[in-house]
Structure 1
Amino acid sequence: MTKNGHRPKIVVIGGGTGLPVILKSLREKNADITAVVTVADDGGSSGIIRDYVNVVPPGDIRNVLAALSELPEIYLDIFQYRFDTSDRFFAGHAIGNLIIAALAEMKKGVFASVQELSEMMRVDGHVFPVADEPLVLNAEFSDGTFLAGEAEITAARKSIKRVWVTSNEKNEAEMPAAVPEVVEAILGADQIVLGPGSLFTSILPNLVIGNVGKALAETKAEVVYICNIMTQKGETEHFTDADHVRILNAHLGQCFVNTVLVNTAQVPEGYMDKEKYDENLVQVEHDFNGLREQHCRVISSNFLKLKNQGVFHDGNKVVEELMGLVGRPNHELRHREHS
């Protein structure tokens, strides 16, 4: 809560495992949270369910619901439980994914089902799937070739030039749109947070939807990007922090990212389990001049958390910075070229 007692409206956009880390810490700060979650995931349990049931992929939605839920821990453990690989029929499926898929069928749409499930799970905030239909992620690579599908795009391990989303329905000419609630949340926000998460497969699939990009261009809120700590295989290999922001701005056709949070702490050599976290390659290199050229305010600090031989953002440290920013007048933050 800010000094004047206002409960800040913070919209967090993304997907993947990084998003819940930030949401849990934000919840402790009594922020009015809206989580906007991608519906273009086609991997893991989410992808299998999507292949057999005509619903959006539920995995990221499940993790966000759990992060914002006030249910007792035992209920959340059941919701998050993933069946063992030896269980043949249910192998690898999370119970929450099955519940979301069932509710989406019952309610004839994932958006309504997630709102109902949010009430059932006593969610503190709002969880909005960015669209009410499953979307397909498409990519053009630097060599001029194209691929569709998140898993296929990252498996190609090529340099990605741009991404966009199309409807899963047969009428691909009709461009998908975000649900009105997402646009309203962006326009009414005090702060918009992008990430942390996979640049091309978790963050951009939300932003490249036409009415989302338009709302981000029009919002008076500060747009903060939490830059990834590690480069990611098949997505951001050899990327600097400035490269991440350059790609975001290029997709929306303007410098819309106002502030970038950059981790400067070093991961101890040999710490990370590279088999378990095989998507992570090396630490993102810094290019502060490149960030300033894009009119970004740069906040560099130790945002690193080491856990279970993996590299993560420290949610509490990140949120301390976010809350410090949200308490300042927007006009102090929107127009600047300094770090």
Structure 2
Amino acid sequence: MKEHNGSNQRPKIVVIGGGTGLPVVLSGLRTQNADITAVVTVADDGGSSGVIRDYINVVPPGDIRNVLVALSDIPQIYKEIFQYRFDTKDSFFSGHAIGNLVIAALSEMNGDDIFLAVQKLAQLMRVDGKVYPAASVPLELNAEFSDGTHLAGEAEITAAEKHIKRIWVTGNDGEKPAARPEVIQAIMEADQIVLGPGSLFTSILPNLMIENVGRAVCETQAEVVYICNIMTQKGETEKFTDADHVRVLNQHLKHRFVDTVLVNTEKVPQNYLDHQKYNEILNQVKYDFKGLREQDCRVISDDFLELRDQGVFHNGAKVVEELIRLAGRPHSWVADRYN
């Protein structure tokens, strides 16, 4: 593994994932002196993204939209317009975010090249960093469950509420998808690869299951840091410990590629979480230090908890502080910490 590239250069940090966790980390990293690349999942088939994907066969734009906003330097009012979601009474546009429609339009204007469309939009939005779709075609998520059954589609997989044995992705034509060379180059040249926070089977693994992405993450000399979820998720990680999360990642890539894991050890207050508002969230992920060390990874445990709106989130500032500290240290640094 390589050491940090020197105090006079910005550390190159590649963040891979999707969902609501990715923008939290990116927003924090944007305030630091880091060279950021976001590799964003394109396997979402729900909500506005799913409808747009089905109608015009474009990469689902929702996660890309949120990442662009997180890294954008445009005035706040423009961000609010870009993020605005039409009300349900607007029957034709109901549920669609303006940004999703803009991304779909730019893709069509550029010969259905979503990668080029996102690069042009990133310029318009004065994005500080790079935003790369994990693949240039919509991905279909496939799962095999422990009972031997199979399902396709992110929404269907999580709704089944079965124990997931493994997942894989296919292109919309059934072929094996591949990431653009720019994605692989960013991973190979990085000082640090950050996975998460995000849904294990539907936000993180779909990216790593793209063959050349998974291979690059295993072969890069960058330190691979996994930000473990604080809570378990219905239909995905029920009863999981933090070690179970890492074990699933390593098993899918058939390699112990996770170098460092950030885990929250602060207790979530009983009865704080609004389970109706956050209906996919179950219980707090259990801490298993011994199991984590059995996966040959460095463990950094701390209070990364943020409570707001009766929900449980990562404290973005504390997570980013730890990431920047890691990015500035040689890999030989011993960083195990205990509460």
Counterpart amino acid of residue 7 in structure 1: R
User: What does residue range 128-139 of structure 1 map to in structure 2 within 5 Å?
Assistant: 128-139=132-143
Between 1:236-245 and 1:268-277, the stretch displaced more is 268-277
Percent identical: 71
Q: 1:295–1:337: 8 Å Cα contact kept in structure 2?
A: no
Q: Secondary structure at the match of 1:48?
A: helix
Q: Secondary structure at the match of 2:120?
A: helix
User: What does residue range 195-274 of structure 1 map to in structure 2 within 5 Å?
Assistant: 195-274=196-275
Instruction: Give the aligned length.
Output: 333
User: What does residue range 82-161 of structure 1 map to in structure 2 within 5 Å?
Assistant: 82-108=85-111, 109-161=113-165
Task: Give how far 1:117 is off.
Answer: 0.1
CA deviation profile, 1:300-339 (whole Å, cap 9, x unmatched): 0010111111111011000111111111123x16xx8977
Q: 2:300–2:336: 8 Å Cα contact kept in structure 1?
A: no
Matched with 2:39 is 36
When normalised by structure 1's length, the TM-score is 0.96
Q: Secondary structure at the match of 1:117?
A: helix
- Name the CA distance, whole Å, in 2 between partners of 1:106 and 1:54: 14
CA deviation profile, 1:108-129 (whole Å, cap 9, x unmatched): 2110000000000000000000
Q: Secondary structure at the match of 2:270?
A: coil
Matched with 1:164 is 168
Determine if the alignment matches structure 1 residue 13 to structure 2 residue 16.
Answer: yes
Q: Secondary structure at the match of 1:277?
A: coil
- Name the CA distance, whole Å, in 2 between partners of 1:259 and 1:188: 18
Matched with 2:288 is 287
Matched with 2:57 is 54
User: What does residue range 309-324 of structure 1 map to in structure 2 within 5 Å?
Assistant: 309-324=310-325
When normalised by structure 2's length, the TM-score is 0.96
Q: Secondary structure at the match of 2:64?
A: helix
Q: Secondary structure at the match of 2:92?
A: helix
Q: 2:223–2:259: 8 Å Cα contact kept in structure 1?
A: yes
Root-mean-square deviation over aligned CA pairs: 1.5
- Name the CA distance, whole Å, in 1 between partners of 2:259 and 2:21: 20
Matched with 1:67 is 70
- Name the CA distance, whole Å, in 1 between partners of 2:36 and 2:159: 33
Matched with 2:299 is 298
Q: 2:300–2:335: 8 Å Cα contact kept in structure 1?
A: no
Q: 2:5–2:191: 8 Å Cα contact kept in structure 1?
A: no
Counterpart amino acid of residue 318 in structure 1: V
Q: 2:197–2:227: 8 Å Cα contact kept in structure 1?
A: yes
Q: Secondary structure at the match of 1:90?
A: coil
Question: Structure 1: where are the runs of 5+ without partners?
Answer: none
- Name the CA distance, whole Å, in 2 between partners of 1:126 and 1:111: 11
Q: 1:296–1:338: 8 Å Cα contact kept in structure 2?
A: no
- Name the CA distance, whole Å, in 1 between partners of 2:60 and 2:36: 22
Q: Secondary structure at the match of 1:238?
A: coil
Counterpart amino acid of residue 304 in structure 1: L
Q: Which runs of 4+ in 1 moved over 2 A?
A: 336-339
- Name the CA distance, whole Å, in 2 between partners of 1:104 and 1:302: 41
